[in-house]
Structure 1
Amino acid sequence: GLSLIFLALVSAFFLSARPGDAGFKLVESFTLVLPAQPFAQALAVVLGALGAVQLYRGFGKWTNVVLAFATAMFVVGFLAWATSGGSFNLTGMLQDTVTRSVPITLGAIAGILCERSGIINIAIEGQLLGGAFAGAVLGSLYGPWVGVLGAMAMGVGLSALLAVFAIRFRVDQVIVGFAINFFALGLTSFLSQRVLTPYPEYNIVKPFTPYKVPLLSDIPVIGVVLFTQTYFVYFSIVAVVVTTWFMYRTRWGLRTRAIGEYPQAAGTLGVDVLKLRYRNVWIAGAVAGLGGAWWPIGTVGRFDQNITNGRGFIALAAVIFGRWHPVGALTAALVFGLAEAIQLKMSNLDTGIPSEFLLMAPYVVTLIVVAGFVGRSRAPKAAGQVYDASK
């Protein structure tokens, strides 16, 4: 409720102070025009009313829907303020949102697979970074598809370290995760400086070009946003669908959720808890490695030091925001992708906002999401707990 009131005040005193029309280009022949100032004033009234209702009696089961609607409208108001007197390609920004959600989506899937199994995976950042490095080197030498496989193998290797130390030696899982992150950062930075810099031919990848899905890519707006993308976008959507199906419709998924909630009970019913945890952590590593390959093979065509830039930790926030559900994690990844796409778009507009503040946008959104959902989301009960088969 207070958040909605705050957004209403921002709309009333900040967004409504800039007159002019904002143009949102959807297709070549159509541009949606919004009067920035009247829209911001109307938005302030609506957000204020929603905030008052939320404080007075709440929206019950519709709370998340109302919050999503209010957030979306505020984003539109902010974009109208930033674009007043001009126009920009809204469809292109939405396409960029979907593209930039890929590593966060795949990293979040990796986190869900681990935490649903009772293993806290703080090492997503390191797995993404290792996958990016392996994908760049092998992709440069043998082609992008070999680079993708190499990135997944690197992710499996780093996840194997997590599994051995967390499951076999029962080391604190959070400490192991951070250790793997620092190890991956140090190793890739060292190899980048010592190998890739003197031998640049090892760091030139021909990235995937966008693939247009026949017929579907011809749909206005949606066709460009969803069906004119690189293979990585399709990989991430398939990963969400497959993980959701197997997690909630198969015996493997039932056992995975059981060992993440009540491993002792699952063990007494004949489930090999340790074996299943090992297997799921390895699968999670492959998914995270695939997410890391997105940087050199899906976008920039090369590896740079610390190229992931904290996206693994944003993926952890997506796990919490998505309530440990693949579809929820995809939604969260799109939110973070939108924040990054807006930040890039704002840097090209004359908003008067310092570039340093714009660079903070994805991380500020992460803090807001974690602060708002960490207390209301329930993690698997056995996440982080050591399993002892003898008890």
Structure 2
Amino acid sequence: MTAPSRPAASPVPPETGKPLPPISWKAPIGYSVTALVALVLFGLLPAGGRTTTFTFSTSKDFFHIDPVTVPSRTAAIILSLVALALAGVSLWATRERRKTGVWLPALFGVAVVLAFLTWAVAGKAQPLPVTGLLQGSLFLAIPLVFGSLAGVLCERSGIINVAIEGQLLAGAFAAAVIASLTHSAYAGLIAAPIAGALVGLILVYFSVKYLVNQIIVGVVLNVLVVGVTSYLFSTVLKVNASTWNSPPKLPTIEVPLLSQIPVLGPVLFRQTALVYLMYVVVALLQVMVFRSRWGLRLRAVGEHPKAADTVGIKVNRTRVRATMLGGAVAGLGGAFFTVAAGLAFGKEMTGGKGFIALAAMILGRWSPTGALAAALLFGFADNLQVVLGIIGTPIPSQIMLMTPYVVTIFAVAGLVGRVRAPAAEGIPYVK
């Protein structure tokens, strides 16, 4: 008789003696399928024209960059093959258990997006303004960046913040009202984080004091803020819009010299004060969360509150402060919808951006810089459908309107991989 076969053991590295974790083929398969689809759709199928033109310069740049015209089908095929080669690199790295770093998904995304743009704008009389596309993407990503940063602060301390949508809406409402009454957009910019912090205070009060399920409290707060702001809009703001709902717009501030650098200048240094404030907040929180004593205590409370309490850290007080700070950051992002965009307040004008910010936080792995990168991705998808809608594209407009949400679903489902939230997230602490 032959002995029963045994399953093959996991490879054991001689230096540790411990079995290696199983190989995940999720990323290389996803890259390969996406590259093949791009090759078929954008390279092999007929486009609307033979050439595609991209423009890069604005009238205020130091020097002018001539428009670039490329053969549509050839460029799309080359870019798709580059993406397929990167998928092969991912396959090899996964097989050899090597880490590729951030550069591979970044280059892969650029190649696929450029292949799509080459196909979508082929033969159009109006060229694709690359600088305007990037500039608008950064601007539209503002509420997503601030909202995802709010989620990072709250969830690193152990509080699940589903109320980001309500905090954004409260910030937009407060910014519009205060800016209208004071005739100062900067006054609205100060009022917005106060409103967001109040929503955060209610969230953490019920979560810490009464141990209510944090997800339920967040959902209820979203509905509460929508109801209160809609009622005040109908009874006060709409009745006397000239007094209560005519906020001035934040002026565009051009940084001398830097704003005149082609492409990068208009995108990064020809923006409103809210964008420059976003740069500061992201850098500051990245340092504070991962390079400061305060950040160490914050992460300790979110990972192991009992151990943090043992060494003298006030767990619930830390959670209250972090959640209020997160609410203030989200409220600041709400100012985008009114004083930054130059719009009057409207019912539910945030349009679900708070939930996309939650997805950006998860995709960014609970890191300020990671959340920034994910929010920029979603902002690009949001602005892309606007720009292509103006230029014209063979894709139906209904599908283009779905782009930001489809990108959100695929990014979280296909690109996150194995991530671990803070261990004590959503768990009340009772001393």
Secondary structure in 1 aligned to 2:67? strand
Count residues in correspondence. 389
For 2:187 and 2:248, the matched residues in 1 are separated by: 12
Is 1:5 the counterpart of 2:25? The answer is no
Deviates more, 1:8-17 or 1:127-136: 8-17
For 2:419 and 2:239, the matched residues in 1 are separated by: 48
1:90 Cα deviation after fit: 0.8
Structure with the higher fraction of residues in helix conformation: 1
Deviations 1:31-73 (A, max 9, x none): 1222210011122323333334434552731154212211111
Deviations 1:199-225 (A, max 9, x none): 111111111121001221121111111
For 1:76 and 1:310, the matched residues in 2 are separated by: 28
Map 1:242-281; keep pairs closer than 5 Å: 242-281=284-323
Deviates more, 1:339-348 or 1:20-29: 20-29
Deviates more, 1:85-94 or 1:235-244: 85-94
For 1:2 and 1:208, the matched residues in 2 are separated by: 45
Alignment partner, residue 83 of structure 2 = 47
Alignment partner, residue 153 of structure 1 = 194
Does the 8 Å CA contact 2:186/2:250 hold for their aligned counterparts? no
For 2:418 and 2:68, the matched residues in 1 are separated by: 38
Find 2:128's aligned residue among 83, 88, 106.
Answer: 88
Find 1:24's aligned residue among 33, 36, 54.
Answer: 54
Find 1:314's aligned residue among 346, 349, 356.
Answer: 356
> What residue identity is the alignment partner of 2:212?
V
Does the 8 Å CA contact 1:320/1:373 hold for their aligned counterparts? no
Map 1:92-107; keep pairs closer than 5 Å: 92-107=132-147
Secondary structure in 1 aligned to 2:339? helix
> What residue identity is the alignment partner of 1:160?
L
Alignment partner, residue 195 of structure 1 = 236
Does the 8 Å CA contact 2:170/2:225 hold for their aligned counterparts? yes
Q: What is the TM-score when the length of structure 1 is the normalising length?
A: 0.96
Does the 8 Å CA contact 2:157/2:302 hold for their aligned counterparts? yes
Secondary structure in 2 aligned to 1:360? helix
Secondary structure in 2 aligned to 1:61? coil
Identical counterparts, % of pairs: 42
Does the 8 Å CA contact 2:82/2:111 hold for their aligned counterparts? no
Does the 8 Å CA contact 1:126/1:184 hold for their aligned counterparts? yes
CA RMSD between the two structures: 1.5
1:84 Cα deviation after fit: 1.2
Find 1:126's aligned residue among 128, 146, 166.
Answer: 166
Map 1:293-372; keep pairs closer than 5 Å: 293-372=335-414
For structure 1, the 5+ residue unaligned runs are none
Deviations 1:105-141 (A, max 9, x none): 1111110000010101010000001110111111111
Deviates more, 1:38-47 or 1:283-292: 38-47
For 1:180 and 1:274, the matched residues in 2 are separated by: 20
Secondary structure in 2 aligned to 1:283? helix
For 2:206 and 2:417, the matched residues in 1 are separated by: 29
For 1:285 and 1:251, the matched residues in 2 are separated by: 22
> What residue identity is the alignment partner of 2:68?
L
1:303 Cα deviation after fit: 0.8
